[in-house]
Structure 1
Amino acid sequence: MIDQTVDLSQYLPILLFIGIALGLSVLFVFLPMGVSRLTGAHNPDEEKLSEYECGFPAFEDSRSQFDVQFYLVAISFIIFDLEAAFLFPWAVSLGETGWVGWIGMMTFLTILAIGLAYEWKKGALDWQ
């Protein structure tokens, strides 16, 4: 007969790790909220509660019209942020890629510059 008993003491380090992680997570989430309540940092006023990211009040009718200008600028920011993310690995590997890598990146930057000029000409960057 084969002994099929399991030694559960092998799981004790994992359970301790999960318990410590759960305790620290709860501590890092709820401790700052409690401290801010006790020290008076929680003092909302109209300026603190105003919309600052989306550009229009968040709690209105979902079918109301709004200006898409914010989203155009946000998409432009993401595009040029990704451009910067591509420039760093290209610059690091330029010694190995040589002229082919340089020409490829200049083509990429030219396409982005043409897109920026088009966007500028269409007035997508004008903020009213």
Structure 2
Amino acid sequence: MKILTTTLIMVMIINLVFLLTTMISKKTKTSREKNSPFECGFSPLSSSRKPFSIQFFLMATIFLIFDIEISIILPMASTKMLSMEEWLISSTITIIILLMGLIMEWKTNMLEWSK
């Protein structure tokens, strides 16, 4: 019986607090604009599906690959596992492989912004 009365009192207190907050709150009118999600300055009234440029995606991927390559090569110089000659050889091979891929993309016209 004690658990039932305690539960009933808790439910009453929760409902009372809920009613008080709805009465005290400043938000009185709801509108479609205020209830719609707002993200990054885009209007929610327009279409959410926009065409995506594949060329932009390719350029971003190339940037990401070279960015990751730099973040891999630079810490290798500070480790004591490699000598300076080994670091120079491994970083040169890595850069040559990446540049060969970039040249291949350039030759196949993958880097064209407009077609």
**TM-score when normalising by structure 1:** 0.45
Between the two structures, name the one with larger relative contact order (CA 8 Å, sep ≥ 6).
2
Normalising by structure 2, we get a TM-score of: 0.49
Higher CA-based Rg: 2
